[in-house]
Amino acid sequence: MAERATRDLAAQFEDEKPGRVLSGPAGLLLTAAALAVGALALWQVFRPLSQGSKYYLIIFLAGVLPLVFLAYPADLRLPARLRTRRRPGSSGPTVTDWALGALAVAACLYPVLPIQIGSGGGGYNAFLDRQGLLAPTDLVLGTVLLLLLLEACRRTTGWILPAVCLLFLGYGYYGGLLPQSWPVAHAGLDFSQLIDAFYNSDSGFYGTPLDVAASYIVLFTIYGAVLELSGAGRFFVELSAAAFRRSRTAAGRTAVASGFLLGTVSGSGAATTVSIGAVTWPLLRRAGYPPERAGGMLAAAGVGAILSPPTLGAAAFIIAEYLGVSYLQVLGWATVPTVLYYLGILLAVEIDARRSGVRPVVIDVGSPWRLLGRFGYHFASLIAIIVFLAVGVSATRAVVFAIVLTVALSFLAPRNEDSAHRLTPGRLVTSLVTGVRGVLAVTAVCAAAGIITATTTKTGLGPQAAALLIGGAQAATSDPTLVLVLTALLAAVALTLLGLAVPVTASFVIGWVIVGPALLDLGVTAPAAAMFVFYFAVLSEVSPPTALAAVAAAAVTGGRLVPTMWQTLRYALPAYLIPIAFVITPAGLGLLGIGGIQRIAFAAAVTALSVAVLAVAAGGWLPGVGPAGAPERVLGALAGVTLLWLEPVPVTVGAALAVVAAAGVFIRRGSADRSSSGSPANPVEEQL
């Protein structure tokens, strides 16, 4: 597939990408505004605005929110995840779009204007001084900004997230009318108090989620655009193909390896799925993979983009801000689970190849060492980010330095082979605009998330919801350990259902303020609770019935949608189970790289065994031996789940069950061999 066709197809399944192709005056205006926003974000890294970070957030939102109304059409009749997919429209903005954009500029910039009519004073400091006692004009423009953000979210993600925000808004306003005997009842807030919390507090529109979007995400999307234009994406796919070109399962391994490598710079599950599918689906088809199975593999490999360091999804930056830790620590927490996730997919690929009789495919590429020698510099900026973070450089500066390094190294491309990927000034402008356009939707989502966080803070909903969740578990059992396990399972189900309706970033924010306190109250450490919520928020990309990555994969392979979703679920199975190990036992912290070497090694080794056993149970085949029957698969599933309880007794029981299951497969094969053996009918048959 051509690069442009691939990008267009990816945009149809990516709920955080612009939906219009703009040209003419609208295109020029968007380009100029995006350049200004990108330049401001880069400037803020080294010369922060003297008025403070909130002042910068106001300016940033004033530059981004109007662009949403220009870049996204208003004709979304169904949620983005459910509507019929089509190529983004190329029609220009309507009069209404221009009016909403102008209104967004006024509502966003109002707090910093030197003249604020009807407020008794103007300027940024005067606006802050009115916190808790807003003037009528403050209330009007705060309400306007609230409505604009809801409309921006509707245009970018569909109806469900605005509906959730309105639900929280209604709870804040009408919660005082609930019976006081209800656990979630509160004193009630009037409308002016709510607007004050949204518009003029640090937990509202200008809270941590928007701070993350304006400080981190925009820089990483610019970096991703720069890296893509430098040819890194094509190199990663070619390197994966070259590394496995002589393998029997070359096609499957190439798809998985490509997903991992592209995921390190993409941070988008659906887009990575389409990108690797465009290249590897022809290989998978030649190897004999059915469209549904190939689609499941592509979707599972692609969604790992949101789980793979060093550019995790937006929620990872929010984790760092919420917990007050460095982004490098969050990357460290994600490393072992990412390796285990891709280990599970690779094992499933090997099992499928042997069970289904996949044909070897000859991939016509050169030596991987030749590719590394000529284009290995594409890894330099990724390594540089980790090195900069390790020596104490902030994440924002580290990514800017990585951008500069990528630009410089792009001129190492051979002039006669890859000169199109040299980042000349014109291509730099393109990458900057592309990066800012890529952050439009997530900015709207992050700003709207302030409605949820501010309402939760003002009403105390977090502790109340935690008490309900724990109470539900305690109603079933009084054992503290089982209460924790049951709470984790209930939380996993709730987070998965939530992720079906809203984007990953919003799902994490809601999950953290609702589910996070319950886990913390039961003694789960903050890193384990945060990563638990993060993983289940991400898994919405592969969870039926709205698995966005699976839908994208089905569009590439032409496979049936529902079977593709179930195949994706099978490949991604370890991702649903490993996060539970984070929280149900202290030893699970070893999976996050927390603790001594012994704890980390023990947790990683046992969980790797669990992943392997679960892969055999799901695939119905023990590599090197043969097919597994239903009894062996059931025993394997029990063994895999038991092993995730990282304590000596459960690990021993799980290992014993795994041995019994493996022995059953050996016995089954021996019986099959004996039944198929016999005296040959004639010497010719014996010779054959």
User: With bands split at pLDDT 50, 70 and 90, how would you rate the model's confidence at 688?
Assistant: very low
Read off the tokens for 169: 């808004």
User: Which is more confidently placed, 510 or 502?
Assistant: 510
pLDDT of res. 435: 86
Q: Is the pLDDT of residue 420 over 80?
A: no
According to DSSP, the residues that pair with 626 across neighbouring strands are: 622
Lowest mean pLDDT among 206-220, 321-335, 658-672: 658-672
Read off the pLDDT of residues 99-151 as tens digits, 9 standing for 90 and up: 999 999 999 999 998 877 766 667 888 888 888 888 889 999 999 999 999 99
Spatial distance between the Cα atoms of 154 and 443, rounded to a whole number of angstroms = 13
pLDDT of res. 405: 92
User: Which is more confidently placed, 623 or 136?
Assistant: 136
Q: Is the pLDDT of residue 89 over 60?
A: no
The answer to whether the beta carbons of residues 413 and 421 sit under 8 Å apart is yes
The answer to whether the beta carbons of residues 179 and 185 sit under 8 Å apart is yes
Spatial distance between the Cα atoms of 255 and 290, rounded to a whole number of angstroms = 15
pLDDT of res. 167: 92
Q: Is the pLDDT of residue 82 over 70?
A: no
pLDDT of res. 185: 83
List helix spans (H) across 324-392. 327-356, 368-375, 380-390
Q: Is the pLDDT of residue 1 over 50?
A: no
Lowest mean pLDDT among 17-21, 372-376, 383-387: 17-21
User: Which is more confidently placed, 368 or 213?
Assistant: 213
Phi then psi dihedrals of residue 118, to 5 deg: 75, 10
Q: Is 563 exposed, middle or buried (0-12, 13-18, 19+ CB in 10 A)?
A: middle
Average pLDDT estimate for 165-174: 92
According to DSSP, the residues that pair with 627 across neighbouring strands are: 621
Read off the pLDDT of residues 50-78 as tens digits, 9 standing for 90 and up: 888 899 999 999 999 999 999 888 864 44
- What is the secondary structure of 400-460 as a DSSP string? HHHHHHHHHHGGGS-TTTSGGGS--HHHHHHHHHHHHHHTHHHHHHHHHHHHHHHHHHHHT
pLDDT of res. 79: 42
User: With bands split at pLDDT 50, 70 and 90, how would you rate the model's confidence at 415?
Assistant: low
Q: How many residues does the chain have?
A: 688
User: With bands split at pLDDT 50, 70 and 90, how would you rate the model's confidence at 417?
Assistant: low
Q: Is the pLDDT of residue 566 over 50?
A: yes
Q: Mean pLDDT for the chain?
A: 83
User: Which is more confidently placed, 687 or 291?
Assistant: 291
Spatial distance between the Cα atoms of 341 and 573, rounded to a whole number of angstroms = 9
Average pLDDT estimate for 15-24: 63
The answer to whether the beta carbons of residues 423 and 410 sit under 8 Å apart is yes
The DSSP code for 186 is -
